[in-house]
Amino acid sequence: MVLQDDNKNLILVPTDFSEICENAVHFALELSKNFNWSVVVLHVINKDTKSYLKKEDITEEQLELKLKEVEKAQKSEFGIDVTYIIKKGNIFEKIGQTANELDASLILLGTHGKVGFQRLTGSYALKVISSTMVPTLVVQKRNFKGFKNIVFPVTVTTQDRQKVNWAVAIAKAFDATIHIFPKHESEKYLKKNIMSVTKQIKTIFDKHDVKHVDKVSEELGGNFAKQIVDYAVVNDADLIIIMSTNDQALPMLDSWDEQLMFNSSQIPVICVNPVQVKKVRFGWY
């Protein structure tokens, strides 16, 4: 396996039992087969949940029994360690707390846009991501079909080098090709910076025998997010990897990052936090 099974690596998947969240659970189960990680599915009971359960005439005890049945069935089908847990409280606080308690390596978040989860939680995906330091994979309705082409945007920030570990791990697990996509900069200093970072990234990919190509974005001076998504669509990309940050002095995500996360083509996007990435154990690392 690409990733070492050290009994600590796991994927946390929040769910409200909506179709989109169930798709996220399926994503996690499929990923776990390649990564050899365990999966923990989290449902947070809050006032919206209680209102829904009352409307459907379902008790919390019945809900827990249902989850145990689903857990048993998925263990049998996928042959992996999957656990369902229920907690009560604020959805944002509980996801972050649970991720920290379990030392989760990845959160897999199902969303149908910036308004976040549907039926039970009414949450905002961005707020969930900003509540934890754990890398988060955002998926929409698009079904899991593996990762064969991964788009790797590069900007002037040197932090782009810190998402390389995830890119290499995923590429090796799925025999994928990484498409390095540096942002075009006309200013000489910024252009030199991006070229230097891109060269370092390509050196790491070469070292680990990861297939890669690179394509500098067009000199349009316009929407970088649109350029990335357009390129991803043309090249049949299955994943886009970006950086996130929880620095209180800076915005959590740039506007173009938000556009990528909720792209209309529904391409999954992983937001990697530079603090947490070093905790994840990779077989080649």
Last-in-domain residue among 91, 107, 139: 139
18 and 107 co-located in one domain? yes
Distance CA 259, CA 217 (A): 17
Residue-wise pLDDT tens digits, 144-200: 889 999 999 988 765 666 689 899 999 999 999 999 999 888 888 888 888 888 999
119 and 220 co-located in one domain? no
Residue 87 lies in a domain: yes
Residue-wise pLDDT tens digits, 69-128: 888 888 888 888 899 999 998 887 888 889 989 999 999 988 865 544 434 333 456 777
Enclosing domain of residue 100? 10-139
Residue 96 lies in a domain: yes
The CATH number of residue 169's host domain is 3.40.50.620
Give the angle 128-79-164 at the CA atoms, nearest 5°. 45
Residue 285 lies in a domain: no
Name every residue whose Cβ is closer than 8 Å to that of residue 191 and which is 6 or more positions away in sequence.
185
Q: Identify the pLDDT of residue 269.
A: 93
E strands, the chain, are 10-14, 38-45, 82-88, 106-110, 136-139, 149-154, 177-182, 211-214, 239-243, 269-272
CB atoms within 10 A of CB 225: 21
Question: Looking at the chain, how many residues does it have?
Answer: 285
